[in-house]
């Protein structure tokens, strides 16, 4: 049934630096905002050791090779290579990623490098973080270093992971802002940083490909009431299309721009910004993270549009007077209350393809669950079921004509959740540690590891 995948399809898996590496202050690494915040909740772990991938990457890459991965998506911790965010280069940090890339290539695993995954250097945060326009220059300096040092070996670059989640739900992922107006100013600076970096990548490297990596999910109106339908459409534009339109067209989506102006959130432009955004709109592909769809009803403007139900997924709430979140009774939920919607994955892929006609990479998709180690094994059949349903729908999307070249589920190995600790696991490889008890951090392939290995083997043999 899986024969329609091209033999060069990049079956992969994902991680991000601060969630997997540990080694938070070794070999000259500077603190990031994630380190500086420590555990955001006292009852869950911080990121200081994580999965200790920094010290054990060789063992991990060997397991990735055994699993059959064709690609591995990771991020470079900005403050590991530039401890102060700009200026002096930390050669030990540069070498870590160089070694990691070589190790991947040794096993023919394509490195997919995310430049920025939630972990701004703390030194830049202290100068205002993304509120400060100078952070744009620092990001470009960082990107230039990455292109210089790794551009000879890395072909695929992702600019900014889930910019839309940082802007709309910064509290969950560590990006602070005092108001929506300020958040959209930060977004504007990130758009400029991304545009300059995409251009720089093409100026510096002949064969490299680069693209944005927002979280894109399709939306359902709660009913066929036209007011619900238009609210859902607005949600999609504000929550999703803005971010891809900026990368692709280098312009604000007009519908979203009107919304920003109506509510007084519109960012300040400096002279030349419009040209930078336009000139840098050079994505070679689009990468999306997909976990769950959203359902939306018309706003009632009664003070309850925002209602965040305890236990619901953070991204599932409304905005007063704009739209309100609704419950989709057709969908089941994970034990962390994230909706499960494989068909919505197909819809999302079709919509992205229809709008932009660029090849698509899926840089995240997966199931967070409390796995149990029993007699040295982890039977995560639920994760296999989840991934299989999504892969089936991805295949149907491909049959619809959507061009997809890579699937990198979250996560290659267990790592620290952005805001829900180590108990919530996503990996194909179990890491033997508890929230606060590090144990030996042994690597134990889960049942899903062997299932994915079989799937990759089955679809890539000629
Ligand atoms: C995405 C992030 C990842 C990751 C994942 C799972 O939003 O890009 O960094 O952690 O979601 O989310 P969580 O860790 O909150 O369960």
Q: What is the pLDDT of residue 251?
A: 98
Distance 422 CA to ligand 1 centre (A): 12
The answer to whether the CB of 419 is under 6 A from ligand 1 is: yes
Q: What is the pLDDT of residue 401?
A: 95
Closest CA to 408 of 294, 287, 304: 287
Helices (H) then strands (E): counts for the chain = 17, 15
Which residues, 6 or more positions from 401, have their beta carbon under 8 angstroms from its beta carbon?
Answer: 353
Q: What is the pLDDT of residue 311?
A: 59
- Asked about 310 being catalytic, the answer comes back as no
The answer to whether the CB of 420 is under 6 A from ligand 1 is: yes
36: alpha, beta or left? (left if phi > 0; alpha if psi -120 to 50):
alpha
Whether residue 199 is predicted with pLDDT greater than 70 in this model: the reply is yes
| Burial zone of 1 (CB within 10 Å; 0-12 exposed, 13-18 middle, 19+ buried) | exposed
Q: What is the DSSP letter of 129?
A: G
Check: CB of residue 45 under 8 Å from CB of residue 422.
yes
Whether residue 266 is predicted with pLDDT greater than 60 in this model: the reply is yes
Q: What is the pLDDT of residue 314?
A: 57
Percent of the chain with pLDDT over 70: 97
Q: How large is the average pLDDT for residues 231-238? A: 97
Q: How far apart are CA 192 and CA 159, in angstroms?
A: 11
Atom 15 of ligand 1, residue of closest alpha carbon: 418
Closest CA to 156 of 345, 406, 353: 406
State ipTM.
0.98
CA distances from 36 to 33, 138, 417 (A): 5, 19, 16
Cis amide bond preceding 301, omega within 30: no
Closest CA to 291 of 308, 309, 314: 314
Higher confidence at residue 394 or residue 1? 394
**Segment 32-66, tens digit of pLDDT:** 999 998 777 888 899 999 999 999 999 999 999 99
The answer to whether the CB of 334 is under 6 A from ligand 1 is: no
Give just the sign of the alpha carbon dihedral 17, 415, 364, 241.
Answer: negative
- Asked about 162 being catalytic, the answer comes back as yes
Q: How far apart are CA 89 and CA 81, in angstroms?
A: 6
Give just the sign of the alpha carbon dihedral 72, 195, 162, 131.
Answer: positive
Closest CA to 169 of 195, 187, 190: 187
Check: CB of residue 211 under 8 Å from CB of residue 286.
yes
How many alpha carbons lie under 13 Å from residue 196 in its C-beta half-sphere? 17
Whether residue 337 is predicted with pLDDT greater than 70 in this model: the reply is yes
Q: State the catalytic residue, choosing from 364, 372, 435, 440.
A: 364
Tell me yes or no: is domain 10-219+284-292+337-460 CATH 3.40.630.30: no
Helices (H), 68-212: 78-81, 91-106, 122-125, 134-150, 163-168, 170-173, 180-204
Name the residue with tokens 């540069």.
94
Distance 288 CA to ligand 1 centre (A): 13
Out of 364, 368, 413, 416, mutate this one to test ligand 1's pocket (max ligand atoms within 8 Å of CB): namely: 364
Q: What is the pLDDT of residue 39?
A: 74
Q: State the catalytic residue, choosing from 103, 162, 222, 319.
A: 162
Whether residue 322 is predicted with pLDDT greater than 60 in this model: the reply is yes
Closest CA to 124 of 115, 137, 114, 112: 137
Gyration radius from the chain CA atoms: 21
Token code pair at residue 13: 């898996």
CA 154 to chain centre: 19
The answer to whether the CB of 15 is under 6 A from ligand 1 is: no
Q: How large is the average pLDDT for residues 176-184? A: 95
The answer to whether the CB of 73 is under 6 A from ligand 1 is: no
Report domain extents, the chain. Answer: 10-219+284-292+337-460
**Segment 344-360, tens digit of pLDDT:** 999 999 999 999 999 99
């Amino acid at each position: 049934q899986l024969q329609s995948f091209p033999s060069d399809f990049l079956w992969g898996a994902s991680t991000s630096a601060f969630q997997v590496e540990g080694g938070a202050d070794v070999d000259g690494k500077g603190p990031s905002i994630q380190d500086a915040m420590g555990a955001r909740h006292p009852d869950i772990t911080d990121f200081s050791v994580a999965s200790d991938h920094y010290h054990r990457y060789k063992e991990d890459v060997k397991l990735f090779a055994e699993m059959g991965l064709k690609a591995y998506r990771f991020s470079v911790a900005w403050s590991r290579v530039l401890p102060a965010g700009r200026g002096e280069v930390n050669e030990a940090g540069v070498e870590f990623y160089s070694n990691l890339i070589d190790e991947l290539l040794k096993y023919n695993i394509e490195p997919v490098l995310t430049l920025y995954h939630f972990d701004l250097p703390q030194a830049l945060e202290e100068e205002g973080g993304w509120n400060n326009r100078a952070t744009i220059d620092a990001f470009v300096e960082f990107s230039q270093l990455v292109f210089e040092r790794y551009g000879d070996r890395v072909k695929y670059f992702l600019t900014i992971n889930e910019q839309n989640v940082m802007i709309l739900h910064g509290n969950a992922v560590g990006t602070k802002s005092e108001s929506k107006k300020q958040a959209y100013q930060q977004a504007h600076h990130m758009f400029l940083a991304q545009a300059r970096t995409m251009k720089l990548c093409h100026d510096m490297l002949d064969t490299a490909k680069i693209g944005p990596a927002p979280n894109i999910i399709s939306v359902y109106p709660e009913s066929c009431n036209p007011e619900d339908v238009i609210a859902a459409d607005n949600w999609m534009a504000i929550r999703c299309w803005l971010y891809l339109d900026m990368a692709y067209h280098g312009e604000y989506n007009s519908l979203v721009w009107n919304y920003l102006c109506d509510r007084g959130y519109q960012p300040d432009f400096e002279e030349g910004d419009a040209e930078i955004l336009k000139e840098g709109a050079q994505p070679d592909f689009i990468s999306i993270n997909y976990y769950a769809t959203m359902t939306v009803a018309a706003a009632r403007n009664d003070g309850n549009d925002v209602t965040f139900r305890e236990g619901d997924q953070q991204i599932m709430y409304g905005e007063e007077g704009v739209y309100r979140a609704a419950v989709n009774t057709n969908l089941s939920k994970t034990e962390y209350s994230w909706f499960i919607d494989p068909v919505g994955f197909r819809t999302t892929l079709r919509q992205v393809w229809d709008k932009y006609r660029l090849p698509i990479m899926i840089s995240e998709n997966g199931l967070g669950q409390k796995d149990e180690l029993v007699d040295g094994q982890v039977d995560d059949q639920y994760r296999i079921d989840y991934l299989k349903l999504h892969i089936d729908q991805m295949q149907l999307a491909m049959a619809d004509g959507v061009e997809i070249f890579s699937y990198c589920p979250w996560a290659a190995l267990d790592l620290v959740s952005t805001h829900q600790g180590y108990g919530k696991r996503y990996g194909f490889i179990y890491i033997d540690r508890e929230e606060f008890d590090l144990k030996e951090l042994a690597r134990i392939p889960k049942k899903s590891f062997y299932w994915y290995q079989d799937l990759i083997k089955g679809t890539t043999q000629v």
